[in-house]
Structures are given as structure tokens and as C-alpha cells.
Amino acid sequence: MTNLMEKKIGVLLSGRGSNFEALADSVAAGRIPDAEISIVISNREDAPGLLRATERRIPARMIPSKGVEREAYDRLVVAALNEARVDLVCLAGFMRLLSPYFVAAFRGRILNIHPSLLPAFPGLEAQRQALDYGVKFSGCTVHFVNENLDAGPIVAQAIVPVKPGDTEETLAARILCEEHRIYTEAVRLVLSGKFRIEGRRVLPTAEEHSEERLAGRAKRG
Ligand code: GRF
């Protein structure tokens, strides 16, 4: 029997899918309560994340994007998300810009994870950009998606140090651990609805804030 209170998450990915798996683990463990991942969609047939979804018995669909015009493609994806009754769309390594049509269809209900402290280093190869720039700290950001690239209001961020011997790979791996942690936190907050947006600021409600502090205290023992 389906639980009507359960919020449905749709995940879009193009590759490995470790963020999808982190979200799936968090849903299964109750760290994201009253939720299910109702569909995983990939634009690439060879995305390992699709296979991972199937292994977890989560409905998975491949909707190929090659040669399809951007909005026409997005109409197909939006239709699939609506069919799966998705409340919140989570981009998890989905290597495509969303059209204004898509953003309007799920306004305020699309999250993305990006491997830098936005607004620094938007776009591709964020870890490479951070190394080339010489920053001492980078990190990751979960943000709402709007019409501009990596630009919507920020829900969660984590700081990650850049070490002297870092390569793109070692830095990316250190950042990825934090991505998995904050994506769960951000999805939990957004699905709880216990926040408001003022300008660009995403502000947890007082209730959420004190729950968080209590949870933090409990974790620290
Ligand atoms: C992550 O670094 C994410 O921040 C970026 O794409 C990568 C996806 O990794 N948007 P995975 O497929 O979730 O493992």
C-alpha cells in the first residue's frame, strides 16, 4: 500500500551515481523520513547509477538525450517525473542544463549538488578550477536550481581543506564524502518544509533549528 504522506523524490543522473546511492541509503535508514525515491532517470545508457538503481529495485528509466533539442528533451523528463508523482527533483551528476520549461514545471522543487563553495567555481571541473586557482579551502554546495547555471539559493554547504599534495582526484574524493552528507541534510530540510526563503537566503525555521541542535548534541553524545 502506498503511504500518501510519503514524499516522492526523483533523481536525475548521467554517471556514477554515488550521490544517488547516498540519498537512497539515507531514505532506507530513515535519515530522510517519510520519503521514497520513486524514479531515477538517466540521459545516458551507460550510466552506472542506472544499474545501481535497478539493483536496489528503484524504478529506473533511460531517456536518451543525444540529438534531442533541449526543451523537447526536458518535456519528456518532466512527463516521466510527473508520472512518478515526484515532489522533489534531485540532480545528482546530471550533466545537462535545464531549460526554463523544466525549471518552471518544478519551480522551487529542484535541488543540485555542486563540488565547490558556490559562487566560486561554477560549471564543469570545479575541483580542477579550485586547484588551479590555489584556494586553501573548497567544498560543496546544495542549492535550489533556477534558470542560471549553479546559481539558485543555497541550502547547505560544507568546507573541505585543499592539501598541498592534492590532485584533482584526491580533492574530489575528499569533497565527495561531504557531498553525500550534506545532500541528505538538504533533502531532509526541504522535504520537511521547515524553512523559508528570504531573497537568496534559505532560513530554517526556529523549530528546525532547535531540532538540528538537539540532533547535533545527541550525535556528539
Ligand atoms: C559530483 O561531484 C557532484 O557534485 C557533481 O557531479 C558529481 C556526481 O557524482 N554535480 P556522482 O555521480 O553522484 O557519484
- Residue 15 CB–ligand 1 contact under 6 Å: yes
Q: How far is the CA of 171 from the centre of ligand 1 (A)?
A: 13
Was domain 113-221 assigned CATH 3.40.50.170?
yes
Q: From CA 101, how far away is CA 118, in angstroms rounded?
A: 24
- Residue 92 CB–ligand 1 contact under 6 Å: yes
Q: From CA 71, how far away is CA 74, in angstroms rounded?
A: 5
Supply the pLDDT for residue 216: 57
Q: From CA 35, how far away is CA 189, in angstroms rounded?
A: 12
Domain 1-107: give its CATH code: 3.40.50.170
Q: From CA 24, how far away is CA 53, in angstroms rounded?
A: 9
Give tens-digit pLDDT for 145-195: 999 999 999 999 999 999 999 999 999 999 999 999 999 999 999 999 999
Supply the pLDDT for residue 217: 55
Determine contact, residues 97/50, Cβ cutoff 8 Å: no
Q: How far is the CA of 212 from the centre of ligand 1 (A)?
A: 26
Q: From CA 113, how far away is CA 160, in angstroms rounded?
A: 15
- 191: Cβ–Cβ under 8 A, 6 or more apart, which residues? 7, 9, 32, 34, 35, 87, 88
Rg (CA), the chain: 17
Q: How far is the CA of 18 from the centre of ligand 1 (A)?
A: 7
Fold identical between 1-107 and 113-221? yes
Supply angle C-alpha 107, 205, 181, rounded to 5: 70
DSSP string, the chain: ---TT-EEEEEEESS--HHHHHHHHHHHHTSS-SEEEEEEEES-TT-HHHHHHHHTT--EEE---TT--HHHHHHHHHHHHHHTT-SEEEESS--SPPPHHHHHHTTT-EEEEESS-TTSS-SS-HHHHHHHHT-SEEEEEEEE--SSTT-SPEEEEEEEEPPTT--HHHHHHHHHHHHHHHHHHHHHHHHHT-EEEETTEEEE-HHHHHHHHHHHHHHH-
- Residue 128 CB–ligand 1 contact under 6 Å: no
**In degrees rounded to 5, what are phi and psi of residue 152?**
-75, 170
Active site residue 180: no
Supply the pLDDT for residue 74: 98
Can you give the residue ranges of every domain in the chain? Answer: 1-107, 113-221
Instruction: Tell me the one-letter amino acid at 110.
Output: I
Q: What is the mean pLDDT of each run of 10 residues along the chain (221 residues)?
A: 81 98 98 98 97 98 96 98 98 97 98 98 98 98 96 98 98 98 98 97 87 58 40
